[in-house]
């Protein structure tokens, strides 16, 4: 069995990228990075502040720089921000430097998971549901085009999602694993 490549989690806010990323990294004994947290640590300011001072464009420039840096590290698990796929340079870095997992969730789940979160500047509005619907329409095709694997997270435990990711990544890395798993089931 080959070693697993870097694993990059993409998907909308509230899909569980940070939670699942931490569990995945622990399971693999790898460092975990959340690109949004890394940006905050470097700037010494939270994302809403960065948006207020630099606007979304300024934040996206910082995000691209951080994704470029994080994807060059060896043996890592990285959770990206929901809008990371908006820039081609980010999509290219993710695709070329590891395996990309799209954590897919519904707008209903996003609304529930982000209901009390005030750290998401794009959701500080009156009609959060419409904002999420519009973002999904724009970003879903980019998530799909960038990812190697799509995993649904709705009404599933983070552990179940991690187990599915590991099974599917192993199959990508070692297609013979599918044949071995099938032959084990037949012989049992």
17 carries a ligand binding annotation: yes
18 carries a ligand binding annotation: yes
Strands of the chain, DSSP E: 7-10, 32-34, 77-79, 99-104, 149-152
DSSP 176: H
| Cβ atoms 21, 34 nearer than 8 A | yes
81 carries a ligand binding annotation: no
139 carries a ligand binding annotation: yes
The whole-angstrom separation of Cα 50 and Cα 48 is: 5
| Cβ atoms 99, 147 nearer than 8 A | no
The whole-angstrom separation of Cα 78 and Cα 94 is: 10
The whole-angstrom separation of Cα 87 and Cα 60 is: 8
| Cβ atoms 151, 103 nearer than 8 A | yes
159 carries a ligand binding annotation: no
36 carries a ligand binding annotation: yes
156 carries a ligand binding annotation: yes
60 carries a ligand binding annotation: yes
Residue list for the binding site:
14-19, 36, 60, 82, 120, 139, 156
Residue list for the binding site for Mg(2+):
18
Residue list for the binding site for substrate:
36, 60, 82, 139
Residue list for the binding site for ATP:
14-19, 120, 156
């Amino acid at each position: 069995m080959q070693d697993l490549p870097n694993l990059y989690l993409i998907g909308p806010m509230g899909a569980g990228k940070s939670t699942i990323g931490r569990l995945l990294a622990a399971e693999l004994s790898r460092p975990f990075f959340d690109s949004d947290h890394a940006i905050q640590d470097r700037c010494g300011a939270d994302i809403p502040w960065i948006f207020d001072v630099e606007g979304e464009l300024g934040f996206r420039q910082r995000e691209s720089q951080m994704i470029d840096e994080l994807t060059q590290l060896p043996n890592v698990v990285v959770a990206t921000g929901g809008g990371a796929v908006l820039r081609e340079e980010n999509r290219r870095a993710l695709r070329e430097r590891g395996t990309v997992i799209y954590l897919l969730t519904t707008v209903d789940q996003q609304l529930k998971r982000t209901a009390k979160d005030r750290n998401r500047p794009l959701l500080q509005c009156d009609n959060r549901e419409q904002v999420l619907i519009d973002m999904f329409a724009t970003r879903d095709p980019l998530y799909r085009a960038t990812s190697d694997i799509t995993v649904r997270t709705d009404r599933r435990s983070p552990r179940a999602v991690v187990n599915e990711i590991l099974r599917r990544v192993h199959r990508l890395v070692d297609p013979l694993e599918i044949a071995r798993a099938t032959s084990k089931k037949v012989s049992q």
